Structure 1
C-alpha cells in the first residue's frame, strides 16, 4: 500500500523529559508484572505464563504503587500473564492515578469483552490510563498457528481489539506490540498495514524474540538477521521516519532502558523484563521497593555497565547501546554487541539453529 505520514513516535521515545530523566538519573516508567495467569497459547511467552498462575496480592501491589510514586516515577505499565485477569486491576489504575501516576495496560486481547472494553474506555476518559498495548504478532492465520496452539485465538484477539475501539477507547492510544519471530517477520508488511491503515494505530512496537520462557522450547522461531532488517526498514518507510533505523532492533532506546525497571510477580526487582531472575537486585517481599532503589539505582538502570564491540563504537550510541537482553541470550555476554542488529558487522544470520 501507499505510505502515508504517521506521527513520529520516535520523538516521544526521546522526548526532552525522558532525556533529562536519563541524564540526571531520574526514573520514568515501571513495568509491573501482576500475574502469570493467561488464556493465550503463545509459544514464545517470555514469562512462561500459563492458564492458572500466581498473582501478586492486592496489599503488596498497593504498597509498591506507593513506593513507585514516592520514587518519582511518572508511569506504570501493567503486564502479565494477562494483566486484565487480576481481579483488582481497575482499582490499581485508579489508585495509581490518585498517586500521580498514569497507567498503561498490556493484553493479548482475549479478556476484552464489550463489558471490559467499556470499563477500559471509561478509565481512559477519567485519565487513569493513557495507553493500552495489544499483542497480536501476525494477522496471517497460517503463520499465527506457527506461534500459537489454538486456531480460534486470532479471531478472538482481533474481536477484543475491535471491542475496545468500539467502546470509545481512542485507536491512536492503543499501541500494537509484535514479538518478532520468523513467522511474524515473514508477514510483517500485511500486519503493520492492518494495524495502521485498518485499525488506526499510530505506532507498532516490535520486540525481539528471546529464547527464554516458552521461547526457550521453540528456538527455531528465531528471526534471521535479513528478516529483522527488512522488518524495521519497512516500518521506518511506513512511518516516513528514518529515525527508527538509528536504534536498529533495540526498539526502546537507551533512554528508556536507563529510566525504567521491571517488577516480577514474585517480587524481583529487575533492570529488564527480558533477563533471567539472576539479574534481580532485590525482592519486595524481603524489603521495601524504596529501599532497594536507594541501594541499587544505577544497577537497575544499567548505568554502571560499559558495553563492548560495535555498540560501543556505533555512531548512534547517544540513544542506543544495543539490546542488552539480546546480547545475553544470544551471546551469553550482557555487555557484548547486539547480535540481532544489522548494523553490527559481526552479527550472524542465525544463532540458535
Structure 2
C-alpha cells in the first residue's frame, strides 16, 4: 500500500488555493497573509489570471479556492470565476466579512458560477469573534452573508480557527452551527505565522482533547467536519474506530492501511500567491516557481521540495517512522513555523509511534 500511496498525488494537485489579493479590510489576529488595506500593483492582472485559470484546468478537475486577503477586493473577480466555470472548474470563494459582503455581491458570485463560499465563525459569541477578527460587526456580517448565500443557491462552509482563546468552546460553536444550513465545518488548527502568536497554538494534550470533542460531534451534527492543518485527527479517528468492537465499527470506514493518504502541503495541495508564486502551502516559505514564467503542473510534479513533501518516509523524528505516516504525515507548516524544519515531527501530536518508541 505504501508504494502505491507514495505516487497517488504525484501527477496533479487535488486542491489549489489561489490568493487573489492580500488586500482586506479586516485585521484578523491570526492572518497568515498579514493583509493590507490596498491592493498590490504587482498582483496578477486579469489577463494573467485568465491564463492561470487555463493552466489550472490542465491539472484535471481540482477543487479551486479563491482566497485572500479578500477576493472581493478585486473588481474582476466575477469575470475570473466565470472564465474558470467555463473551463469546467469547481470554484469556491473565501470572502471576508466586510462591507463588500453584500447581497448583491453574493448574487453576482452565484451568477458567475461560484458553487461554494467559506465564511469564518470563531466563537458562538459576537464579541469574542469580533475581537479575534479585529473589526466590530464581523460576526453579524458573517451571518448576513451566510443567509444571502443560501438564498442565492450557494453552499456555505464555515471555517473556525481553533486556538487557546476558544478551544474550550468547541461544543458551543458546534451547537450554534447546527442551527445553520451549512455543507461543511472546517476546523483550522492555528499555525503561528503572519500575525498569529505562537502562544495561541494548542499543545499536544489540548489538541488531542479537541480531537476527542470533534470525534464525538461527528455523529451528532447534520454536516461533515474537516480538519485543516491537523492531519493527525485522521490518526486519532482511526485509533478510536480500531478500538471499537468489530460489529460496532462503521462499515463505511476502511482500516488505516486501506485508506486514502492525507492531502497535505505539496501532497495533492498547492498554493498560488497574489503575485503568482507557487508554493506547497501558504504557511511555508518555499517558492518553487512563478506562474508568470513556469508551468504550474511541471512545478508541482518536479520541484524537489514538492516531491519530498509527498514522501513521508523521508521526514525526521517520529513522523518519519510513524505507522500512520501515509494516513497523516503531520502538519508540515506547523513543523516549520515551530521548529524551523518543515520535515520535523508534528509538534502538537501526542502519539508515540511503535518504531520510534522502540528506537528510544
**TM-score, normalised via structure 2 length:** 0.77
Q: 1:239 aligns with which of 218, 231, 248?
A: 218
Rg comparison, structure with higher value: 2
Gaps in structure 2 of 5+ consecutive residues:
236-259, 354-360
Q: 2:278 aligns with which of 249, 269, 273?
A: 269
Structure 1 CA distance for aligned equivalents of residues 211 and 36 of structure 2? 30
Structure 1 residues 300 and 50, CA, compared in 2 at 3 Å: closer, same or farther?
farther
Structure 1 residues 132 and 143, CA, compared in 2 at 3 Å: closer, same or farther?
same
| Aligned-residue offset at 1:295 | 4.2
**Matches for 1:4-23 after TM superposition, within 5 Å:** 22=8
Q: What SS class does the counterpart of residue 260 from structure 1 fall into?
A: strand
Could you tell me whether the CA contact under 8 Å between 1:31 and 1:79 is conserved in 2? yes
Could you tell me whether the CA contact under 8 Å between 2:44 and 2:274 is conserved in 1? yes
Q: 1:248 aligns with which of 232, 235, 247?
A: 232
Partner of 1:214: 195
**Matches for 1:322-333 after TM superposition, within 5 Å:** 322-333=330-341
Runs of 4+ in 1 over 6 A off after TM superposition: 241-246, 250-253
Asked whether 1:194 is paired with 2:173, we answer no
Q: What SS class does the counterpart of residue 147 from structure 1 fall into?
A: helix
Could you tell me whether the CA contact under 8 Å between 2:103 and 2:148 is conserved in 1? yes
Partner of 1:37: 23
Q: 1:289 aligns with which of 286, 290, 296?
A: 296
Q: 1:46 aligns with which of 26, 32, 43?
A: 32
Structure 1 CA distance for aligned equivalents of residues 184 and 351 of structure 2? 23
Structure 2 CA distance for aligned equivalents of residues 322 and 151 of structure 1? 35
- CA offsets, 1:216-246, max 9 Å, x none? xx33322343332222221221112999799
Partner of 2:249: none
Partner of 1:15: none
| Aligned-residue offset at 1:117 | 2.1
Partner of 2:11: 25
Q: 1:59 aligns with which of 43, 47, 69?
A: 47
Q: What SS class does the counterpart of residue 165 from structure 1 fall into?
A: helix
| Aligned-residue offset at 1:37 | 0.8
**TM-score, normalised via structure 1 length:** 0.79
Count of residues paired in the alignment: 315
Structure 1 CA distance for aligned equivalents of residues 10 and 291 of structure 2? 25
Could you tell me whether the CA contact under 8 Å between 2:121 and 2:142 is conserved in 1? yes
Q: What SS class does the counterpart of residue 206 from structure 1 fall into?
A: strand
**Matches for 1:164-179 after TM superposition, within 5 Å:** 164-169=149-154, 173-179=155-161
Gaps in structure 1 of 5+ consecutive residues:
1-18, 346-353
Q: What SS class does the counterpart of residue 270 from structure 2 fall into?
A: strand
Structure 1 CA distance for aligned equivalents of residues 93 and 16 of structure 2? 12
- CA offsets, 1:162-186, max 9 Å, x none? 22223333xxx31111122111313
- CA offsets, 1:96-137, max 9 Å, x none? 1222211111123333211122223344xxxx3332211222
- CA offsets, 1:291-335, max 9 Å, x none? 544642872682256112222333322321111011111122211
Structure 1 CA distance for aligned equivalents of residues 297 and 184 of structure 2? 33
**Cα-Cα RMSD:** 3.0
Structure 2 CA distance for aligned equivalents of residues 27 and 103 of structure 1? 15
| Aligned-residue offset at 1:264 | 0.4
**Matches for 1:219-230 after TM superposition, within 5 Å:** 219-230=198-209
Q: 2:309 aligns with which of 280, 284, 302?
A: 302
Partner of 1:10: none
Structure 1 residues 176 and 300, CA, compared in 2 at 3 Å: closer, same or farther?
farther
- CA offsets, 1:75-98, max 9 Å, x none? 311110011221111211221122
Structure 1 residues 294 and 23, CA, compared in 2 at 3 Å: closer, same or farther?
closer
